Structure 1
């Protein structure tokens, strides 16, 4: 968290995050023209934001795209804000949920655990329910198999789809249709990719929500990821549950 606070302390870096908030997935060239500093200076600021986990980069051909990652800000919210001001601050961690052109959403978090334990937490329905606010995902987790997401008391399934790629304990690709209300059903299928990479005694978990995630798609489809991933990290590292109200997810069920 110290790294996150230091990164946010600089006004230029906060402005860079604002630029990515308004238009995600930008190149260095697109960002530098908005600032009256050198290209080298913009590069150094982006590197510091990436080191803090606030920016995630992806290669697209010869270009390097920069994406805003709201998960560290969600963790700051859960650690420092929610216990003091939860009623008005519950949405602070969902910065990406208000972007105007949601096409590809990238979320990244570091968790002190092993790839095997992290994979189990993603695929075991009992464990999943502990950090996903009661939601359980059931499947036999074979490639091409179906999965269903539900919760006790829900009038029907919250989601369903297919496991497109299953490579434990490092990669899981799923096609998903959200079913918790009629608006979500109308959005049709999207793709969620879980990537687990060991880094020292920890793991870097990257969740990418994309593929036919149309421009103007409802933010309900992806706004809950920072909350879910923060809960996953908290549970794996401490065994405790987040106190953030689960009613903020899945259409306020």
Structure 2
């Protein structure tokens, strides 16, 4: 335990573990519900990038694949590109995909956050992204408006 803030979120999705895994790791699918493409070969030790879909090819987040056990577990480090070579600035995301009866339980744990401000950002971001993922997998379309673009009242 590092003593740094951590965040966990669980969502249930009417899908299969394989389809959820693909939605988390396929660049075209992540682009459709996240607005970024997750780009990697998803092998442990490989780099991954969270690349904007606006054509700029800018990576807003970079990291390393720590574990990849299709379709049940994906662990990656996350860092801003400027901090890519500073492991002390990396956070860690664990995605666990489990069958739950005829549906899937997806658990996201985001650890080693630097402070409470970062915790507030990820606690707003993950539910929005995963709601869009759930909608895509259950209906074939993401939500009509990306939740993170809607201002709070």
Which residue does the alignment assign to 1:232?
133
Residue 189 in 1 paired to residue 90 in 2? Answer: yes
What is the count of residue pairs matched by the alignment?
144
Which residue does the alignment assign to 1:53?
none
Judging by fraction of residues, say which structure has more strand.
2
Alignment partner for residue 76 of structure 2, among 174, 181, 186? 174
Q: 2:51·2:57 contact (CA, 8 Å) conserved in 1? A: no
User: Cα RMSD over matched residues?
Assistant: 2.7
Judging by fraction of residues, say which structure has more helix.
1
Please give the secondary structure, in 2, of the residue aligned with 1:158. Answer: strand
Unaligned ranges ≥5, structure 2: none
Alignment partner for residue 198 of structure 1, among 95, 99, 111? 99
Larger radius of gyration: 1
Which residue does the alignment assign to 1:146?
47
User: How does the TM-score come out when normalised to structure 2?
Assistant: 0.83
Residue 207 in 1 paired to residue 84 in 2? Answer: no
User: How does the TM-score come out when normalised to structure 1?
Assistant: 0.52
Unaligned ranges ≥5, structure 1: 1-59, 61-100
Residue 105 in 1 paired to residue 7 in 2? Answer: yes
Q: How far apart are the structure 2 equivalents of 1:205 and 1:114?
A: 11
Higher RCO (Cα < 8 Å, 6 or more apart): 2
